[in-house]
Amino acid sequence: MSETHAAWGREQHAVHFDALSHVPRFVLRRSYERFNEVRLLNAALDHAREPSLLLEVGCATGEFYRYLTLRHPRVTYVGCDISRPATERACQKYPEGRFILTDVDLKAVNHVDPDVIFCRDVAHHQPDPLAFIRKLYGMARSLLVMRIRTRDAGETVRDPTLSCQLNYGIWAPYIVVNSQELLKELAQFIPQPSLVRLVKHYMVLGGQQARYLPKECYFPETGTAESALLIEKGEGSAPCTIKEEAVPENLQLGFVARVVSWLARHSI
């Protein structure tokens, strides 16, 4: 695995991202449905006329598979990830699921041909998030839903040595894209998208969770955000509608859910 992706090959990754595996279903639902990208995906899947094939890129230990099969039993799921320990853990927990170990360029899932791609918290860990988003858009038949990191002020700092996060003792890129740069780029995708929605949960990203980011990202006025992004594939004929909004997420789980999660984690 390349240096920029080496952190994900660590055994600790499979342990760290397995926190939801023992929580009961109502906590799992509550945990995911706090997030704007999951709400956008649910609304789209609820309105879909046909059952879809969904590819999750960066599935880690497969917890989203458990959520999706509960919430959308008609959707067919395929997950992929570059992390061997994480995909092995996913296969061990959910033998009925389909989890594919892939390379960073996703060649191992070229054959999948998904209607929908869901990709949460992966693009900002690529040295070039915009190239990665473009690649996913090319692979999805109709819809791409992601969570990325954005900033309203200041240019995207594309250098991973200046914009990174320490994961399991290894630096990984952590690239915060300028929201206007992003929207301009998305509107030029071919075929042109019919709809782009960017839904921002503003928060100061700098200094949290072992991140080493450009200094501006430590100030609220830079407008950094965890941002849900939905891109509907167009046919290239109609103009692209762009909707940009701020929707704060309530990240606090309720008291009962927190107690149940704690018990689930500590009783194993």
Dihedral sign for Cα atoms in the order 262, 265, 266, 268: positive
Least spacing, CB of residue 27 vs ligand SAM, in Å: 15
Closer residue to ligand SAM (CB): 77 or 240 = 77
Which of 21, 27, 58, 196 binds ligand SAM (CB under 6 A)? It is: 58
C-alpha angle with apex 65: 61 to 79, nearest 5 degrees?
A: 70
Nearer Cβ to ligand SAM, position 82 or 183?
Answer: 82
| C-beta separation of 79 from 106 below 8 A | no
Task: Establish if 90 lies at the interface with ligand SAM (CB under 6 A).
Answer: no
HSE-CB at 237 with a 13 A cutoff on CA atoms is 1
Instruction: Give the three-class secondary structure for 246.
Output: strand
- Contact by Cβ (8 Å): 224, 150: yes
- Binding status of residue 83 toward ligand SAM by CB under 6 A: yes
Helix (H) or strand (E) holding 65: helix 63-71
Judged by CB under 6 A, does residue 87 bind ligand SAM? Answer: no
Site for ligand SAM in 95-134 (CB under 6 A): 102, 104, 106, 120-122, 125-126
Window contacting ligand SAM (CB under 6 A); options: 36-44, 76-84, 202-210, 219-227: 76-84
Closer by beta carbon to ligand SAM, 82 or else 198? 82
The answer to whether 44 and 107 have CB atoms below 8 angstroms apart is no
CA distance 146 to 43: 14
List the structure tokens of 199: 């839904």
Q: Is 60 in the site for ligand SAM (CB under 6 A)?
A: yes
C-beta closer to ligand SAM: residue 106 or 140:
106
Q: Which single residue is written with the structure tokens 């997420």? A: 249
Nearer to ligand SAM among residue 55 and residue 198 (C-beta):
55
Least CB distance from residue 236 to ligand SAM, whole Å? 27
Cβ contact 200:245 at 8 Å = yes
Say if CB 145 and CB 230 are below 8 A apart. yes
Is 20 among the residues that bind ligand SAM (CB under 6 A)?
no
Q: What's the closest the beta carbon of residue 1 comes to ligand SAM, in angstroms? A: 9
Q: Which residues pair with 56 in a beta bridge?
A: 79, 118
Q: Does 31 bind ligand SAM (CB under 6 A)?
A: no
Provide the 8-state DSSP code for 228.
E
Q: Does 57 interact with ligand SAM (rule: CB under 6 A)?
A: yes
Query: Using CB under 6 A as the criterion, which residues of the chain lie in contact with ligand SAM when the complex forms?
Result: 5, 8, 17, 57-58, 60, 80-83, 86, 102, 104, 106, 120-122, 125-126
